[in-house]
Chains A and B, each alone.
Chain A
Amino acid sequence: MIDITERVRSVWRRNWDAFLRTYRVNFIPPFVEPVLYLLALGFGLGTYIESIDGIPYPVFIAPALVSVSVMYSSFFECTYSSFVRMYYQKTFDAVIATPVSIDEVIAGEMLWGATRGMIYATLMLPVLLLFGVVAMPSSLLLIPFAYLAGLLFASIAMCFTAITPSIDALNYPAFLFITPMFLFSGTFFPLDLLPEPIQYFALAVLPLTHVVSINRAITLPAFAPANLLNLAWIAVATALFFVLAIRLMKRRLIV
């Protein structure tokens, strides 16, 4: 049904090579973003907020910054960037004329999107350590977990890419899905401040909620049994969207 062999690596490698070609510009966001957010929100706005549940505000938002960065990098890689490769550059067409299958092309794109999320988390970690807002060594777990979270966002992104009529229409998920998640996933204030129905809504359909919970457990560190539920939610959703993305893309590209 889904036809994936080790040839998927050649698709991943193409994107890795392209990323390295422009590494200077690619390396700016993960260094600059946490600095800006920590200064403005953590230490600026944060001076009015002594602590949340006994946690200093910059420490509270640090894991959220990593989660958001992973979300943005993976999601945008597999929406706008993948769409450009598919639609404008016809890269997918070129690749499926070789023994690489369409399944491998799409899977390779998503695995690359996840990798990009992981690269960003890795680069952010030393900045956050410098500010003293994450604990070691537990925070090293941010890196492998960023790959899983990245794969989730990349898979969801690829589903949108598969059904979007044009590159402009990708603004809908960007503004109606990603931006609300950025704000209402327990990122800058705890989820339990929200009315109960909205809390359930966030837990049910906003993947970032689960990612933030786990990352916060990692950086504090403060693991709780509920984190296993977060992890299960992410694992199941990732598997579902991964398969769905390949199916939708096949329907779009194989005619």
Chain B
Amino acid sequence: MQPGKGRSRGGGFWPPSGNGEREERRDEQAKECCTCTTPLTHQEEQAISDVIVARDLEKRFGDLIAVDHITFRVGEGEVFGFLGPNGAGKTTTMKMIQCVSPKTSGTLEVLGMDVDTRQREIKSRLGVVPQETNLDPDFSAYRNLLIYARYFGILKREAERRAEELLAFMQLEEKRDVVIDKLSGGMKRRLIIARALINAPELLILDEPTIGLDPQARHLIWEKLRNLRAEGNTLVLTTHYLDEAERLCDRLVIMDHGKILVEGAPADLIREHAGSDVVEVEQTPAVLVCLDGLGLDYDLADGAIQVFTNRPHDVARELLEVCRHEAVTVRPATLEDVFLRLTGRSLRE
């Protein structure tokens, strides 16, 4: 069991800060635990460690099948990613998990509860970072957090304390009284993450958390998400930034046309679907003939030839020596290679 795993269940998210919050929460938990002294059966343990369980989950919009019978589990303390081109069904899946879009068929349980029947309970324990920035433009950063806290029924005193802490955690203290319009894109995203944490959620759902941000802003958000992860919190995110997924996710699925194509840890997926390295060489007729002669498999991409391999040096040497081609580069395979191999190179609208 990872450190912090138990903690996130009872108390949920709380950004690090030197106050008594943690201790308080642990006490509460200790009390709770005293009431359940019987050891957990295997099944109960399973139910606790799975934060999301989806079986045969389907979502249709009329004739369009947006999510096509997918099955997945997200365990406690995991950072789980949904990758895929536009229209793959990622956001629709997020919306079903958030209980704002009803599923068509299949089963979906979040925090051990059915999404069809216990929406309020689920929502009260979730934090949601939507794709669209829907902060309230009529109010300042601080008031946005207070007003959002009210929707969760958090009392004013407590809400004020949390809002101040979250602004500090997200490095927005200086923007406390600034109206939303005057914030930069990165600040707005950070404020939305702060807002999503106001109810100390047990599961944080992020739909494209860093979309449209500059590298500095992205790195700051990644750092904060890693902090949250290190505390044993569960995060589910969608992205089509492959480097983001590779950096943040413990496990991920790649979706396309509403289906899950592959599932696994980023490193495993790369090894399985791309090999350790990629040897790239300019695409000329002579090289193509030579490669066929060597019996190597290759892909054509961006006007170049890519050979996915676990023995890059041998392949590079063969290309240099046998094919007498000089422009050969070797690089480690990335998740982007896996993604493009699985979902193809055609443009999605």
Contact = CB atoms under 8 A, between A and B. Distances in A.
Nearest to B101: A255
B130 interface: yes
B138 A254 contact: no
A2 B199 CA distance: 25
Interface stretch (A59-67, A86-94, A128-136, A193-201): A86-94
B193 interface: no
Given A17-B139, A17-B143, A18-B139, A98 B151 contact: yes
Contacts of B98: 97
Interface in B79-134: 98, 100-102, 119-121, 123-124, 126, 128, 130, 132, 134
Contacts of A97: 98, 100, 123, 126, 128, 130
A172 B132 CA distance: 30
Nearest to B121: A99
Nearest to A19: B138
B134 A89 contact: yes
Given A18-B139, A254-B101, A254-B102, A100 B134 contact: no
B100 A96 contact: yes
Contacts of A21: 138-139
A14 B123 contact: no
For A18, A21, A96, A98, the residue with the greatest tally of chain B CB atoms inside 10 Å of its CB is: A98
Contacts of A90: 130, 132, 134
A100 to B, nearest CB: 5
A171 interface: no
A101 B124 CA distance: 11
Contacts of B120: 99, 101
A17 B147 contact: yes
A137 B153 CA distance: 40
Contacts of A96: 100
A51 interface: no
A93 B153 CA distance: 18
Nearest to A93: B134
B150 A13 contact: yes
Contacts of B124: 98-99
B148 interface: yes
B136 interface: yes
B62 to A, nearest CB: 10
A90 B131 CA distance: 11
Contact of B148 (A17, A98, A101, A254): A98
A18 B152 contact: no
Given A94-B136, A97-B98, A10 B150 contact: yes
A101 B120 CA distance: 8
Nearest to A9: B150
For B61, B121, B148, the residue with the greatest tally of chain A CB atoms inside 10 Å of its CB is: B148
B152 A98 contact: yes
Nearest to A5: B120
B138 A255 contact: no
A251 interface: no
A7 interface: yes
Interface string A94-115: 1111111100000000000000
A136 B202 CA distance: 58
Nearest to B144: A94
B137 interface: yes
Interface residues of A, number: 22
Given A7-B153, A14-B136, A254-B100, A98 B147 contact: no
Contacts of A99: 120-121, 123-124, 151-153
B344 to A, nearest CB: 28
Nearest to B129: A97
B117 to A, nearest CB: 12
For A11, A94, A96, the residue with the greatest tally of chain B CB atoms inside 10 Å of its CB is: A94
B132 A93 contact: yes
A40 B150 CA distance: 46
Contact of B136 (A91, A98, A100, A101): A91
Contacts of B147: 13-14, 17
A89 B199 CA distance: 22
A95 B135 CA distance: 10
A13 B139 CA distance: 13
A11 B126 CA distance: 19
Nearest to A94: B134
Given A10-B150, A17-B143, A254-B102, A98 B134 contact: no
A79 to B, nearest CB: 18
Contacts of A17: 139, 143, 147
A91 B151 CA distance: 12
Interface in B302-330: none
A18 B147 CA distance: 11
Report, nearest first, the 8 A-B pairs whose CB atoms are least far apart.
Answer: A90-B134, A98-B151, A97-B128, A94-B134, A99-B124, A18-B138, A10-B150, A99-B120
Interface of B: 61, 98, 100-102, 119-121, 123-124, 126, 128, 130, 132, 134-139, 143, 147-148, 150-153, 199
29 contacts: A10-B150, A10-B151, A11-B151, A13-B147, A17-B139, A17-B143, A17-B147, A18-B138, A18-B139, A89-B134, A89-B136, A90-B134, A91-B134, A91-B136, A93-B100, A93-B130, A94-B130, A94-B135, A94-B136, A96-B100, A97-B130, A98-B124, A98-B151, A99-B120, A99-B121, A99-B123, A101-B120, A254-B101, A255-B101
Given A14-B147, A93-B134, A96-B100, 10 more contacts: A10-B151, A10-B153, A11-B151, A90-B130, A93-B100, A94-B130, A94-B136, A97-B123, A97-B130, A98-B148
